[in-house]
Amino acid sequence: MFPCINATWNPVIGCLHDCKYCWAKQLAEGKLRRSSKYVEGFKPKLWEPAFSKSTGKNKFVFVCDMGDLFGEWVPSKWIQKTLTKIKEFDHTNTFMLLTKNPKRYAEFLDLYPDNVILGATIETNRDYQVSKAPKPQDRYSSFRSLCYSRKTVSVEPIMDFDPVVLCSWLREINPEFVHLGYDNYCHKLPEPEIQKTLALKSQLEKFMDVRTKSIRVAWWQRTSLAIKPAR
């Protein structure tokens, strides 16, 4: 979970991006499947009971952390209902949305209240084909051109990247803050060495708020150290 988050709200669950590293899918198809909410696993659905839930006050709420609200398969009426309900919650709350399909944000620009932050996951500038989500280049292009003042980017789980390109992408998007972190679930992604990630962090901190999550040695660095012959 992102360090700033102290509440979640899931009126829409499930996702069809089929990301190799998805912790939510594993959870929904695993121990949560015993609940009525996830009886169909990670199949996208509108969960009506969520609309009677209160988020309280002064919360930083992650909306739909167990799905992608702006996936191409999500009916517009589900998104509209979700955004309308957000307006009814206490205005001391801040709501963060996060998607791998940020081009759909533009369809609902007249529905976002001031306390909503729009987020996009951009783990790298390269296309590693680890999911069915839009390519990183497409996410960057649509998010950069979105006329909305409150944005955030999640560079997690980070995958190897081209420093000049990724840094310029983030600078052009101009988010309020960026989350930066490695995979927590041992999926053996094409990770950058830790020195490269720390250099990116240092560069980004010159012009934006960088919030770190799991920063660690890449899995392949640990493996190479483990098999390094004794001298």
> CATH number of the domain that 127 lies in?
3.20.20.70
State pTM to two decimals.
0.94
- Name the residue among 109, 111, 133, 110 with its Cα closest to residue 123: 133
- What are residue 178's DSSP bridge partners? 153, 210
pLDDT at 224: 58
The reply to whether 1 falls in a domain is: no
**What's the domain count of the chain?**
1
**155 part of a folded domain:** yes
Q: How far apart are CA 57 and CA 95, in angstroms?
A: 12
Domain that holds residue 25: 7-226
Structure-token match 């517009």, residue found = 76
Looking at residue 1, what is its pLDDT? 63
Which residue type is seen at 91? Answer: H
pLDDT for position 104: 98
Radius of gyration of the chain (CA): 18
Intervals of the chain under pLDDT 50: 226-231
